[in-house]
Amino acid sequence: MPLIKSISGIRGTIGGVPGESLTPVDIVKFVYAYCACMRERKPQANGEKYKVVVGKDGRISGAMVEDLVTGTLVSCGVDVVKCGYASTPTTEMAVVLSKADGGIIITASHNPRQWNALKLLNEKGEFLTAAEGQAVLDCAESGNFDFAGVDELGHVTEHDFTDEHIESVLALRDVDCEAIRNAGFTVVLDPVNSVGAIIMPRLLERLGVNCITINQEVSGDFAHNPEPLPSNLVELSNTVVDYHADLGISVDPDVDRLAFICEDGSPFIEENTLVSIADYLLSRASSIASTENVTLEEATAPYAPVTVSNLSSSRALRDVTEKWGGTYYAAAVGEVNVTTMIHSKNALFGGEGNGGVIFPRAHCGRDAMVGVGLFLSYLAARGAKMTEIKASLPQYTIVKNRIDLSDSSVIDFILSEVKKEYASKGRITDIDGVKIDFDEERKWVHLRKSNTEPIIRIYAEAPTEDAAQELSNELLGFVHRLIR
């Protein structure tokens, strides 16, 4: 599998030939480039040393990669704060808590066990911008390396930020700890043999939740495909039913994605993670506004009553937001694009439809712990079963297809022709591929190209699966006619 280089970092399978997979040579090269670009991005006064936080998920290769990353940082004259096993959001928060100049997260997120990756953070604990990420890629390819001498080497300290992360979640004003404790929830947790097995049970215990954990050994030998999709959560679904639990909770290996299972073992659907929490936050703000006779804007202050997700996420978030008088915006796909728009709109809440919850009041990054605290508060406030809440949310179905092409050079032509054909038929958004919204029919279709393969991905959503598939097939047919 080729080494995948992007503005957010590098990822690949462990071992093999440098440049074709994730090898020690590639790790050293990219960490050096990160340090070099950090000096340009954030000049340090008086020649003070830079400080970078390093955290890792529970992957088998994690310790090896951590040693390489730490050693390279030290050899670049950078002090290192090692978090050890830490979720992605914990590492992001650690950058701010330790007043560091950046951070490197060692995780391949939901990819299988043979994968690992480096995710690169700025001094705010957020992903580098597109320009900053591209600068790192360019520097790594230049091969112009100049390491520190013996008297300028960095130093390493260790600090576990897990409890500080938990405390920050419990302190959020929208996490109703008392209501959660009084509800007496029983949950089944599947942390898929990674760092979620460390932090999630501690959080749930502090919230007074009875937690039954499966796949709890932090071995990196994942019990199933680690992406939290319904097809991979059969054991979790069965265990929820067996224990008569109120819900199941699934997180991916670095705990930045969150999915739920209903009390009957059915999937809550990961898109509904974002939608339900937005419903909770905005309904709570609306209630405050009514009780205190203030505007919705005053009730959500210092944030605006705005939500943000990416173009390929469900329309349901827009529906719920507008129901409570808020405003919805769509960003290009990618967490950094979503967080950029969250900042620009001063949004109360946002994220990605794959279960990536972003709550700026906590920090501007996807965080499953924050998501659990908010969702359980919602569940306690509603006093309803998971299946009842699911049924009360806007009902849509997303279908996903792709077109494999032999020549990636035709992709821009295809997208341009789609845009021309549908310009008079729907509302066009072209900040990331081409998205066509048919607002009256409450449906949309989004075509975007892969960054790594000659592929066009086609996502379509409508109130019914048949309608979504029909729309997807219509676009598939149009594209196939273009390339005959």
90 shares a domain with 22 = yes
Rounded Cα distance, 471 and 442, in Å: 12
Given 392, 426, 444, the domain boundary residue is 392
CA dihedral 455, 458, 459, 463 (to 10 degrees): -160
Q: Quick one: tokens of 416?
A: 């341009």
372 shares a domain with 228 = no
Given 392, 418, 444, the domain boundary residue is 392
HSE toward the beta carbon, residue 152, CA cutoff 13 A = 13
Q: Which element (helix H / strand E) includes 371?
A: helix 368-382
- The confidence score (pLDDT) of residue 127 equals 93
Digitized pLDDT (tens) for each residue of the chain, 484 residues in all: 578 887 778 999 999 999 999 999 999 999 999 999 999 888 887 778 999 999 999 999 999 999 999 999 999 999 999 999 999 999 999 999 999 999 999 999 999 999 999 999 999 999 998 899 999 999 999 888 999 999 999 999 999 999 999 999 999 999 999 999 999 999 999 999 999 999 999 999 999 999 999 999 999 999 999 999 999 999 999 999 999 999 999 999 999 999 999 999 999 999 999 999 999 999 999 999 999 999 999 999 999 999 999 999 999 999 999 999 999 999 999 899 999 999 999 999 999 998 999 999 999 999 999 999 999 999 999 999 999 999 999 999 999 999 988 888 899 999 999 999 999 999 999 999 999 999 999 999 999 998 767 899 999 999 999 999 999 999 999 999 998 7
149 domain residue, yes or no: yes
290 shares a domain with 203 = no
378 shares a domain with 290 = yes
73 domain residue, yes or no: yes
Residue 318 identity (one-letter amino acid): R
117 shares a domain with 37 = yes
225 shares a domain with 206 = yes
Q: What is the CA radius of gyration of the chain?
A: 23
Q: Count the domains in the chain.
A: 4
416 domain residue, yes or no: yes
137 shares a domain with 190 = no
CA distances from 97 to 49, 168, 203, 368 (A): 17, 11, 19, 19
Mapped onto helix, strand or coil, the DSSP state of residue 328 is: strand
473 domain residue, yes or no: yes
Given 392, 424, 445, the domain boundary residue is 392
Residue 71 contacts residue 27 (beta carbons within 8 Å):
no
Q: Which element (helix H / strand E) includes 449?
A: strand 443-449
24 shares a domain with 155 = yes
28 shares a domain with 142 = yes
Residue 336 contacts residue 7 (beta carbons within 8 Å):
yes
Residue 229 identity (one-letter amino acid): L
266 domain residue, yes or no: no
> Which residues is 247 bridged to in the sheet?
187
224 shares a domain with 179 = yes
- The confidence score (pLDDT) of residue 1 equals 56
Q: Check the CA dihedral 226-228-229-231 and report its sign.
A: positive
Length of the chain: 484
351 shares a domain with 414 = no
Nearest Cα neighbor of 247 from 278, 272, 284 is: 272
CATH number of domain containing 469: 3.30.310.50
Find tokens 């997180």 and name the residue: 251
List the domain range (segments joined by +) for residue 417: 397-482
| Full DSSP string of 41-93 | HSPPGGGPPEEEEEEE-S-TTHHHHHHHHHHHHHHTTEEEEEEEE--HHHHHH
Residue 18 contacts residue 25 (beta carbons within 8 Å):
yes
Rounded Cα distance, 107 and 252, in Å: 11
CA distances from 437 to 209, 251, 319, 455 (A): 41, 31, 14, 22
Query: Whole-model pTM?
Result: 0.95
Nearest Cα neighbor of 438 from 475, 411, 391, 402 is: 475
Q: Quick one: tokens of 336?
A: 């950094």
26 domain residue, yes or no: yes
Listing from the earlier edge strand, what are the strands of the sheet with 356-359?
A: 327-331, 304-310, 347-352, 356-359, 363-366
- The confidence score (pLDDT) of residue 130 equals 86
> Which residues is 135 bridged to in the sheet?
none
Nearest Cα neighbor of 453 from 390, 399, 407 is: 407
292 shares a domain with 211 = no
CATH number of domain containing 152: 3.40.120.10
Residue 158 identity (one-letter amino acid): E
Helix 368-382 vs helix 88-97: crossing angle, to nearest 10: 110
- The values of phi and psi at residue 166, to 5°, are -60, -45
CA distances from 176 to 100, 276, 293, 369 (A): 31, 16, 22, 14
- The confidence score (pLDDT) of residue 276 equals 98
Rounded Cα distance, 351 and 270, in Å: 12
Q: Which element (helix H / strand E) includes 319?
A: helix 316-323
